[in-house]
Structure 1
Amino acid sequence: MDTPVFVNPPAAAIAECLRRVRTIAVVGLSAHPGRPSHDVAAALQRMGYRILPVNPAISAALGETAYADLAALPLVPDLVEVFRAPEHVAAIVDDCIRLRLPALWLQDGVIDAVAAARARAAGIFTVMDRCVWRDRVRLD
């Protein structure tokens, strides 16, 4: 079977998503400064986004309680940002679909076209292989 071709939404749709978002669940957020997930999430937090760490290996990051998985979150995030290896994306997409989460962002290098296409088919706004922070900076 051929791998589906996944094309990111147009720039205007990405900008609209980032303007609408207020809470971001960061799957794979590290508590260690210097790690890309930590630095990007910290920068987004400074921009005014509420960051919800999702990582079963930590209890907190960036002054927020960490949660073991998306189902454990106390609220529905506006966006799920993924900093996990591509082989974990399919299961994360399963959770996003099951929980009816509105938007999914696969960070630079996190590429799974099949899972991204499945998320989009389920009605989830999906961006793949882009940096949410860089896209957000371009809005200013």
Structure 2
Amino acid sequence: MSRPDDAFLREVLTTTRVVAVVGISPNPVRPSYYVARYLALKGYRVIPVNPGHAGETLLGETVVAALRDIPAEVPVDMVDIFRRSDQVVPIVTEALAHLPQLRTVWMQIGVENAEARAVAEARGLRVIENLCPKMEYQRLFGELRMGGFATGIISSRL
């Protein structure tokens, strides 16, 4: 799998509105929490998915146990997966069965699954593996430099 180009990532991040975060933790020091929180602060609606915390409120939304538990009227267009690579296929299968507006499957850093990719792409979905939407958003929209990172994107104009 090759890294998606910046135009593709930018298009995904600018057209996505509702993100279901599978494997979110209510612990604010866990990456799944602070990535979801960041996305919520950027204006995305974040639907938390974690069976161990179903029914609780997180980031202003009720935590659901599984993707199938997201109400039909919630137009989830991206699933962000914080689970091990070997657990991705059933998540993608469930997403395809229960989220009719789904357009993107995003697997977090360290998460890759060729079978899940093939299943999702066969249904016309965009698939991103082994990347973080928070980090890509910051890199592509010029926010990483605030933390001392060189983004490779020139944002000043003469």
Q: Same fold (TM over 0.5)?
A: yes
- Partner SS for 2:90: helix
**Quick check: 1:8–1:126 contact (8 Å CA) kept in 2?**
no
Indicate yes or no: 2:61 matched with 1:64. Answer: yes
**C-alpha RMSD of matched pairs (Å):** 1.4
Return the alpha-carbon distance in structure 1 between the equivalents of residues 85 and 96 of structure 2. Answer: 17
2:91 maps to which residue? Answer: 92
- Higher relative contact order structure (alpha carbons within 8 Å, sequence separation ≥ 6): 1
Paired residues, number: 135
1:121 maps to which residue? Answer: 122
User: Which shows bigger deviation, 86-95 or 54-63?
Assistant: 54-63
**Quick check: 1:9–1:126 contact (8 Å CA) kept in 2?**
no
Return the alpha-carbon distance in structure 1 between the equivalents of residues 118 and 4 of structure 2. Answer: 12
Higher-Rg structure is 2
- Partner SS for 1:57: helix
How far did residue 8 of structure 1 move?
Answer: 4.5
Q: 1:110 to 1:126 in 2, by over 3 A?
A: same
How far did residue 112 of structure 1 move?
Answer: 1.1
Return the alpha-carbon distance in structure 2 between the equivalents of residues 60 and 88 of structure 1. Answer: 25
Partner of residue 52 from structure 1, selected from 32, 47, 54 = 47
Return the alpha-carbon distance in structure 2 between the equivalents of residues 69 and 135 of structure 1. Answer: 26
Return the alpha-carbon distance in structure 1 between the equivalents of residues 44 and 135 of structure 2. Answer: 14
Instruction: Please give the TM-score of this superposition, normalised by the length of structure 1.
Output: 0.89
Instruction: Please give the TM-score of this superposition, normalised by the length of structure 2.
Output: 0.80
How far did residue 11 of structure 1 move?
Answer: 1.9
Return the alpha-carbon distance in structure 2 between the equivalents of residues 8 and 67 of structure 1. Answer: 31
**Quick check: 2:6–2:140 contact (8 Å CA) kept in 1?**
no
- Partner SS for 2:75: coil
